[in-house]
Structure 1
Amino acid sequence: MDRRSLIKHTGIAGVLAASLAPAVHAQALVRWRLASSFPRSLDTIYGGAETFARHVRAVSGGRFEISVHAAGELMPAFDVVDGVQQGTIEAAHTAPYYFFAKDDTFAIGGAIPFGLNSRQMSAWTFQGNGLALMREFYARYNIISFPCGNTGAQMGGWFRHEVKSLADMQGLKFRVGGFAGKVITRLGGLPQNLPGGEIYQALKNGNLDAAEWIGPYDDQKLGFNKVAPHYYYPGWWEGGLQLDLYVNRNAYEALSPQYKAIVDVASAAAHVDMQAKYDAKNPAALKQLVRDGAKLRPFPADVMNAAFKASLALYAELSDSNPAWAKVYKDYSAFRGDQNLWFRFTEATFDRFMQSQKL
């Protein structure tokens, strides 16, 4: 059987397993526990960790097993960095910006307002300086990181009442992921950072005026449209949220070179798979949400402009006060400028044309 036929019949995991089999079979049995920051019901974002673990198991011939645990099973969603750092668990799958309270630099590894889109983020990570810079930062937490998923650009969330201007952001109790809350505060809002599994009830009982999660497919599963009818776009704080696999450095260094390679390859496979799922599933979910009464609304121009200015002001302040942020953001910002220049002439122009056509 030639290589092309082999790939067709066995898939990438099978090919890797076949090529690594002699080396892998000589390795000791390894058992890790992975804590996710997401509820099991979300087959997309929680599923990224399961996809990773499945590839590890397949390529190792079952000798490297990783059990995946949903938020709350081993520890709360926002405790996973502490768990990995202390070695309570070997690995975690999470959104880096959840941990901005430890250091704002965490957010750059996930998404920051008006930052890179998903393709640009992957380019910065894999072909730019992103991976090296973030790993240098995470080393202080005894963590080595692996990109492990991206949601793509997100929606702006569900609002109980219409936002007609920037004035309507005043006093708004808004569930927004992590670091973006700093910008919401500057717009007059009251950000809340809740795990995905707690958002619906808070929105339903009025403890929240608005909430964002990711996009149509997940939002439909979580039922937000049943308690808040206005669906805003775009999620300017998350042009492409990158998820990370965090691994305890001691546990990683104890692996053989073959097992280290498996972690690297399996996380990359899960990284690609997650965005493919979102891109495939979101269109049908959005159509159904609109049929069910969701009212699609763009954020008013004054909200977008104020948020953009507030974001840049925040980044300048952090660059002056936080050396870790300054080092990573300087590189990130320069890369973003070049990427947007390139996309302006290619992706953006092509996309605008295609989206204006009736196909």
Structure 2
Amino acid sequence: MKRREFLKTAAVGAGAAALATPAIAQERREWKMVTAWPKNLPGPGVAAQLLADRITTLSGGRIEVKLFAAGELVPGNGVFDAVSEGTAELYHAVPAYWGSKSKGILLFGSQPFGLRADEQVGWLTHGGGQALYDEIYGRFGLKPFLCGNSGPQWAGWFREEINSVDDLKGLKFRTTGLASEMCAKIGMAVQAMGGRDMFQALQSGALDAGEFIGPWTDSALGFQQVAKNYYWPGVGEPSSAEECVVNAQAYADLPDDLKQVVSLACESLYNPVWTEYTTKHALALEKLVADEGVQVKMLPDDVVVAMGNAAGEVIADLRNDSDELVQRITESFLAYRKSVSAYMVYADNGQMNARAMDYKY
């Protein structure tokens, strides 16, 4: 290339670069993430920060997400409205908290005697659930994504031993979502509150029992200090999905590649979050038993059956809900549950039953 042509080309390239720089700068976005959790609470608080960091990193800094823990910008129970109204661009919480918005929302977080963590994401990804998830959140100007799961939760911490269904009558109990409706149907006095409030209520006697998540998160909140009877199985929440929900207009304003960044950041954290819960729950349970004197106990069979019957009534109520969309969500969930449950008899159930047999290994 001749020197004059080279200099001309270089000048054009430099000019284009100079023009491009302001456009790139203008494309940077600062997003506020509000959460339902104390900052860095083991489990959901940690997962929320991971998600904020991952969106920032995968976007190359074009979306810079700053996390505000519960109470820093809005209360934990106010994050849904804050993002719907545009006070913040996204939140991290669980669908189980939004039953006052629509009962249909609750099915996307957990269902009594419902889907496990892998089945929950299977329903959304392969069973038509995501379209329904989008539709119901769209009513509130929101775009939802699953971004983690606690795995099976526990039946809870009880100050006194449970021997029959009668022991649950009038019991002051903390839980959320559809599990609260199941418990109410068998006569429990259900209360909704955050984890720190649950500790104080157990300590003061305002609660007789309560469930939050599982050994890892629960031990960090100190429930073992005020209640020693730790019951399983947590049939009220066979899994509990965590969600990232974005203001729909903020999401629509993103270019296509940044929409993919948000979507893939959520999807990429589902398994790491779920498996971290599983791993650290197991380690925490060992310490609770060995070092804290916690008594791990199984719910009596008649309690589980009573809860199952109550859960069936809850689902029947949803099938007959006055909202046609809630009905469609419920039927989609039930169809997926029926199909996958039949298969799991041979698959995961078979493997777990075989692993529990008495042999040298």
Q: Whole-Å Cα distance in 2 between the matches of residues 47 and 130 of structure 1? A: 27
Distance in 2 (CA, whole Å) between partners of 1:80 and 1:352 is 42
Deviates more, 1:317-326 or 1:135-144: 317-326
For residues 36-75 of structure 1, the C-alpha deviation after alignment (integer angstroms, 9 at most, x for no partner) is 1111241321122211121112122222111111111111
1:177-326 pair list within 5 angstroms: 177-291=176-290, 292-322=292-322, 323-326=324-327
Task: Identify the residue that residue 335 of structure 1 maps to in structure 2.
Answer: 336
Aligned position for 1:129: 128
Greater C-alpha radius of gyration: 2
Q: CA contact under 8 A between 2:153 and 2:237: conserved in structure 1?
A: yes
Q: Which moved more, 1:194-203 or 1:115-124?
A: 194-203
Matches within 5 A, 1:127-166: 127-166=126-165
Amino acid at match of 1:305: V
Which residue pairs with 2:14 in the alignment?
A: none
- Describe the SS at the equivalent of 2:154: coil
User: Does the 8 Å CA contact 2:112/2:235 hold for their aligned counterparts?
Assistant: yes
In the alignment, residue 356 of structure 2 is paired with which amino acid?
Q
Q: CA RMSD in A?
A: 1.5
Counterpart in 2 of 1:111?
110
For residue 27 of structure 1, report the CA deviation from its aligned partner.
Answer: 7.0
Q: Secondary structure at the match of 2:205?
A: coil
Larger deviation, residues 36-45 vs 221-230: 36-45
CA contact (8 A) 1:52 1:269 kept: no
CA–CA distance in structure 2, aligned partners of residues 40 and 234 of structure 1: 28
After TM superposition, the score normalised by the length of structure 1 is 0.91
Structure 2 CA distance for aligned equivalents of residues 185 and 337 of structure 1: 25
Per-residue Cα deviation, 1:236-274 (whole angstroms, up to 9, x for no partner):
111111111111101111111111110011111122221
| Structure 2: segments with no counterpart, 5+ residues | 1-22
- Per the alignment, residue 10 of structure 1 pairs with none
With over 3 angstroms needed to count, the CA separation of the structure-2 counterparts of 1:197 and 1:164, relative to structure 1, is same
- Which residue type is aligned with residue 298 of structure 1? M
**Structure 1 match to 2:20:** none
Name the structure 1 match of 2:9.
none
Moved more, 329-338 or 317-326: 317-326
Q: Is 1:53–1:66's contact at 8 Å kept on the other side of the alignment?
A: yes
Residues 356 and 248 of structure 1: is their aligned pair in 2 closer, same or farther, counting only changes over 3 Å?
Answer: same
Q: Measure, in 1, the Cα distance between the counterparts of 2:222 and 2:356.
A: 28
Secondary structure at the counterpart of residue 50 of structure 1? helix
**CA–CA separation in structure 2 for the residues paired with 1:197 and 1:33:** 24
Q: Distance in 2 between matches of 1:27 and 1:128?
A: 39
Structure 1 residue 318 displacement after superposition: 2.3
Aligned pairs, number: 336
Retained in 2: the 8 A contact 1:53–1:266?
Answer: no
Aligned to 1:356: 357
Displacement of 1:284 in angstroms is 1.1
C-alpha displacement of 1:199: 1.3
Look up the equivalent residue of 1:306 and give its one-letter code: A
Give the C-alpha shift of residue 25 in structure 1: 6.2
Counterpart AA for 1:325: V
Structure 1: gaps (5+ residues): 1-23
- Post-superposition offset of 1:170: 0.6
Counterpart of 2:203 in structure 1: which amino acid?
K
Q: 1-side partners of 2:325 and 2:166: how far apart?
A: 35
1:101 corresponds to: 100
**TM-score normalised according to structure 2 size:** 0.90
Superposed displacement of residue 122, structure 1 = 1.0
Cα separation, 2, equivalents of 1:30 and 1:142: 19
Alignment of 1:59-98 (within 5 A): 59-98=58-97
